[in-house]
Amino acid sequence: MTLKCDKCNKDAIIYQRYSGMHLCRKHFIEDVERKIKLTIRKHYSIKRNETIAIGLSGGKDSSTALHILHRIFGMRPDIRLVGISIDEGIEAYRPRTIKSARELTDELGVELIVRSFREEYGKTMDEIAPMKREKGACSYCGVLRKSLLNKTALEIGATRLAIGHNLDDEAQTILLNHLKGDVSRMVRMAPPDELEGLVLRMKPLRQIPEKEVALYAYLHGLPMGSGSCPYAHEAMRREIRALLNDLEVRHPGTKYALLSGFDKISGILGREYPQEGLSNCSICGQACTADICQTCKLLGKSG
Ligand code: SF4
DSSP conformation class of 204 = T
Confidence at 247, pLDDT banded by 50, 70, 90: very high
Q: Could you give the CA distance from residue 244 to residue 227 in angstroms, rounded to a whole number? A: 23
Tell me: pLDDT of 235 over 90. Answer: no
Tell me: pLDDT of 219 over 90. Answer: yes
Tell me: pLDDT of 135 over 80. Answer: no
Highest mean pLDDT out of 113-117, 223-227, 279-283, 284-288? 113-117
Confidence at 221, pLDDT banded by 50, 70, 90: very high
Residues composing the chain: 303
User: Could you report the per-residue pLDDT of 74-133, keeping only the tens digit for each?
Assistant: 999 999 999 999 999 999 889 999 999 999 999 999 999 999 999 999 999 999 888 866
Q: Mean pLDDT of all residues in the chain?
A: 90
The torsion angle over the Cα atoms of residues 149, 151, 154 and 159, rounded to 10 degrees, is: 30
pLDDT score recorded for residue 275: 67
Ranges of each domain in the chain: 26-272
User: Could you report the per-residue pLDDT of 168-212, keeping only the tens digit for each?
Assistant: 999 999 999 999 988 877 877 776 666 778 899 999 999 999 999
Query: Which residues make Cβ contacts (< 8 Å) with residue 179, sequence separation at least 6?
Result: 236, 240
Ligand 1 contacts CB of residue 231 (under 6 A): yes
Q: Which atom of ligand 1 is nearest to the CA of 232?
A: 5
Choose among 50, 56, 113, 38: nearest CA to 76: 50
Ligand 1 contacts CB of residue 92 (under 6 A): no
Residue with CA at minimum distance from ligand 1 atom 5 = 232
Ligand 1 contacts CB of residue 128 (under 6 A): no
- Listed in sequence order, the DSSP H helices in 16-93 are 25-43, 60-73
Ligand 1 contacts CB of residue 144 (under 6 A): no
pLDDT score recorded for residue 226: 65
To the question of domain 26-272 being in CATH 3.40.50.620, the answer is yes
